[in-house]
């Protein structure tokens, strides 16, 4: 285990987007704010006083869900909380990615530290210790309905904190939860009243995946502008439609950013200059070229709206019941994942559409009737070589899948818990399919960039702009230029790696939105 040199402080206030990414993806270490821990302790004393009350209080001295009216005697309450976690850790299917589990655990810890859940300080400290030890509970793909929050995924995490279940250590080795804690010198938590509920009632899984998706989209939507610029240039298009005064006639914020990116990327292009005079008979480019700022910009605006929702959720204390600031313990419905489910679905729609436009540009490179002088399929020896014909097939297949993934999960609801939970958000499923959508979008953009890079080479001796030329040169480090047919899959994967790592954005230079 290599300790991270990054630290994230978790207290009463919200963690930031960057905090989530740092803990989830870079193993940043967590420090708990002492003043906030004192607030957690003060709230816990309210729970302790209610636990001694002869009147029933939900989640403290009663059962859960449809069993909320069943009174539980003091000697059975520790078992009640442990039984809750064990029974709710009912996931199935493949393991969820390590970064997702770390994100959801950080977000649950952030809610615990608000002092609104009633847990003991030691429980919050154990969550931080597990994350700092890089222990990752095994969470499964299926189990959450997004209401009451992400019950099953969070229960799998709580089970490991109790010293049960399964986890992977810092090396990725699968261990029993108790063994993983023991190896790290962490004592298991014995849950007290209310704590089982506090550890599993939250939107943390879907929120964590939303924050990670927004981090990915910031890179992918800039990459989409880069890919479009390379295609406009290589297909002898024009940048005239991207002019600032034209964009101002429709003051959509994302569109303006995308158009500005395209203008900067294409600045100084000898290829564009070569046909910019009156001898150019082109009236206007196809939509997939000319309307790139409109489509990419709409996706940017959708991401901006999703970020607003995510920011509000990061500032939330999601639990049921909650301990209010004035000391009441009150049931509520804030765990319902609809706000997150909607925007997760919106982003899947936007991702599918950006990928669809990219694939259409790729296809134009390969069609001799529309590519303005490029060889069919960009083949080296037409008839003998197939060029990049099947790379476009791959992109088309991915786009078809992305269209299916764009069907919203949040409009579905299957009642559960004997009709107590009779309307659920399916936000977890919206988040899971968005992760697949973003993976597909990155691959489709990589294929367009690889294709456009070959087209730019075939336009020699005319040269591209400095930014697009730098990206073409970067592509050449993992994929060779024009030539006879060769094994394409490794080259595609190489360019995918450049897209996912952000290397394409870095090569294009600074100043891009």
Q: Return the CA Rg of the chain.
A: 26
Q: Which two tokens stand for residue 18?
A: 């960057």
Q: What is the DSSP letter of 129?
A: H
The catalytically annotated residue of 58, 127, 342, 393 is 58
User: 347 and 306 in contact (C-beta within 8 Å)?
Assistant: yes
User: 230 and 239 in contact (C-beta within 8 Å)?
Assistant: no
> What does the alpha-carbon distance between residue 260 and residue 263 come to, in Å, rounded to a whole number?
5
Burial label, 5 (beta-carbon count in 10 A; 0-12, 13-18, 19+): exposed
User: 42 and 239 in contact (C-beta within 8 Å)?
Assistant: no
The residues, any chain, with a CB within 8 Å of residue 490's CB and separated by 6 or more, are none
User: b/e for 394-414, b at 16 or more Cβ within 10 A?
Assistant: bbbebbeebbebbebbbeeee
Q: Phi, psi at residue 328, to the nearest 5°? A: -80, 150
Q: Phi, psi at residue 273, to the nearest 5°? A: -65, -25
> What does the alpha-carbon distance between residue 261 and residue 293 come to, in Å, rounded to a whole number?
9
Q: What is the DSSP letter of 460?
A: T
Q: Phi, psi at residue 389, to the nearest 5°? A: -50, -50
Cβ neighbours of 72 (radius 10 Å):
18
Q: Phi, psi at residue 281, to the nearest 5°? A: -90, -5
Residues 144, 149, 151: CA angle, nearest 5 degrees: 50
Q: What is the DSSP letter of 71?
A: B
Give catalytic status of residue 58 as yes or no: yes
> What does the alpha-carbon distance between residue 247 and residue 254 come to, in Å, rounded to a whole number?
11
* Strands 166-168, 136-137: pairing kind: antiparallel
> What does the alpha-carbon distance between residue 117 and residue 122 come to, in Å, rounded to a whole number?
13
* Strands 7-10, 29-32: pairing kind: parallel
Distances (CA, A) of 421 to 375, 413, 418: 60, 10, 7
> What does the alpha-carbon distance between residue 351 and residue 441 come to, in Å, rounded to a whole number?
6
Q: Which two tokens stand for residue 60?
A: 């403290």
Residues annotated as catalytic are 58
């Amino acid at each position: 285990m290599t300790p991270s040199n990054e630290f994230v402080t978790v207290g009463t206030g919200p963690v930031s987007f960057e905090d989530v990414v740092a803990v989830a993806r870079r193993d940043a270490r967590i420090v708990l704010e002492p003043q906030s821990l004192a607030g957690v302790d003060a709230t816990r004393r309210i729970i302790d006083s209610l636990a001694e009350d002869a009147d029933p209080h939900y989640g403290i001295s009663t059962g859960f869900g449809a069993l909320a009216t069943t009174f539980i005697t003091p000697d059975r309450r520790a078992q009640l909380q442990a039984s809750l976690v064990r029974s709710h850790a009912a996931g199935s299917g493949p393991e969820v990615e390590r970064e997702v589990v770390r994100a959801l655990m950080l977000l649950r810890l952030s809610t615990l530290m608000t002092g609104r859940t009633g847990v003991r300080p030691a429980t919050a400290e154990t969550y931080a210790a597990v994350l700092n030890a890089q222990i990752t509970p095994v969470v499964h793909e299926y189990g959450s309905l997004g209401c009451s929050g992400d019950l099953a995924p969070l229960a799998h995490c709580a089970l490991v904190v109790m010293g049960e279940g399964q986890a992977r250590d810092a090396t990725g080795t699968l261990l029993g939860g108790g063994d993983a804690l023991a190896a790290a010198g962490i004592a298991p938590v014995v849950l007290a009243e209310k704590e089982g509920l506090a550890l599993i009632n939250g939107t943390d899984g879907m929120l964590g995946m939303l924050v990670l998706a927004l981090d990915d989209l910031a890179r992918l939507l800039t990459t989409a502008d880069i890919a479009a610029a390379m295609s406009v240039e290589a297909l002898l298009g024009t940048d005239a439609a991207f002019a600032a005064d034209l964009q101002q006639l429709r003051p959509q914020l994302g569109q303006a950013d995308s158009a500005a990116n395209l203008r900067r990327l294409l600045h100084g292009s000898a290829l564009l200059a070569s046909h910019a005079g009156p001898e150019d008979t082109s009236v206007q480019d196809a939509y997939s070229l000319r309307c790139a700022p409109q489509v990419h910009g709409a996706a940017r605006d959708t991401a901006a709206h999703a970020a607003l929702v995510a920011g509000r959720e990061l500032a939330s204390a999601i639990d049921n019941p909650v301990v209010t600031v004035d000391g009441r313990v009150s049931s509520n419905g804030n765990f319902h994942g609809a706000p997150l489910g909607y925007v997760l679905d919106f982003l899947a729609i936007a991702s599918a559409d950006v990928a669809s436009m990219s694939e259409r540009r790729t296809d134009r490179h390969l069609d001799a009737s529309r590519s303005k002088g490029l060889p069919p399929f960009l083949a080296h020896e037409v008839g003998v070589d197939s060029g990049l014909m099947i790379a476009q097939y791959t992109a088309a297949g991915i786009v078809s899948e992305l269209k299916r993934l764009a069907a919203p999960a949040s409009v579905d609801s299957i009642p559960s818990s004997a009709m107590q939970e009779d309307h659920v958000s399916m936000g977890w499923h919206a988040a899971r399919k968005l992760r697949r959508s973003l993976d597909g979008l990155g691959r489709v953009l990589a294929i367009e960039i690889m294709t456009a890079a070959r087209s730019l080479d075939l336009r020699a001796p005319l040269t591209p702009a400095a930014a697009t030329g730098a990206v073409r040169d970067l592509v050449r480090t993992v994929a060779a230029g024009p030539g006879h047919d060769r094994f394409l899959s490794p080259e595609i994967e190489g360019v995918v790696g450049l897209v996912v790592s952000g290397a394409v954005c870095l090569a294009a230079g600074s100043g891009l939105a």
